[in-house]
Chain A
Amino acid sequence: MMRPRLSSPKVRRRKTAVITSVVLGGWLALGPAGAALADSGDDGEVLAAPLPLGQAALIYGGIPLAIIGLIWLFASIPSMVSAPRYRPGLSWWANPVWFGGPTGDSPLESEPNHEGGGTSARW
């Protein structure tokens, strides 16, 4: 008994060609390439009304400014909260303080007769 030859190389080649052309054709017709080929200039996008100038300024100007302000606030909070600090480069601004100073109204000696000692220094 002879086994029927189901697919000779010639038939197989023809079959492959048919399948390939069907797949490729379908893809071209239905896929994005097909859509591109069939583009008529209208992609269906509906444009919204342009952003009002005030709103645009608020979004593109106001929000960045608010963020900058917030960062500045966070950066300067520690120096606001912490103790007043003497900075050698800046001028002195504070009122005089005298710890252990004269109590009551001590008369100012007209001629300070100083017999003690001490030292002077600068920085």
Chain B
Amino acid sequence: MPAGEAFSDRQREDIQRAIRQAREESGLRYSVYVGVLEGDPRPAAEALHGRLGPLAADVVLVAVDPAAHRLEVVTGAVAKKSLDDRSCALAALAMTSQFSLGDLSGGIVNGLRTLAEHARHPRTLHLDQP
């Protein structure tokens, strides 16, 4: 098949809005990659995460390889403190269940929402107390 766009304009907007809302809700940065993860998917996804530069520690990367049917969620060193692996697995489950039905953008949007719901702000003394 010839190469084309993975998402329609509307789907792109939905994903970008979900990224924005997730950031506002949880305070973490989110990044979504949809494409081929060359070689072993996990190191490939971690390499992508590393390419985000100095901000990478704050970033939660959702990497989807539709060809290999693989999903990788990579959390940075700082993001990991508010978003544990268990929450990532829960979000991954929400995403893959929709991916298997063919709804790629819907799965990503729901996954981001789940990640944001589970990412809690680190407690800040004197600020979180009323």
Contacts and interface: CB of A to CB of B under 8 A. Distances in A.
Contacts of A114: 46, 49-50, 74
Interface in A109-123: 109, 112-123
Given A102-B51, A115-B77, A117-B84, A95 B5 contact: yes
Interface residues of A, number: 35
Contacts of A92: 36, 65-67
Given A88-B69, A116-B77, A118-B88, A95 B49 contact: no
Contacts of B79: 116
Nearest to A114: B46
User: For the complex, would chain A's binding face be called helix, strand, loop or mixed by DSSP majority?
Assistant: loop
Contact of B100 (A82, A88, A112): A88
A112 B43 contact: yes
Nearest to A100: B31
Interface in B1-54: 1-8, 10-12, 15-16, 19, 29-36, 41-43, 45-53
Given A98-B35, A108-B47, A108-B51, A120 B67 contact: no
Interface of A: 82-88, 90-102, 106, 108-109, 112-123
Given A98-B48, A99-B31, A121-B71, 6 more contacts: A84-B8, A94-B35, A112-B47, A116-B80, A119-B72, A121-B70
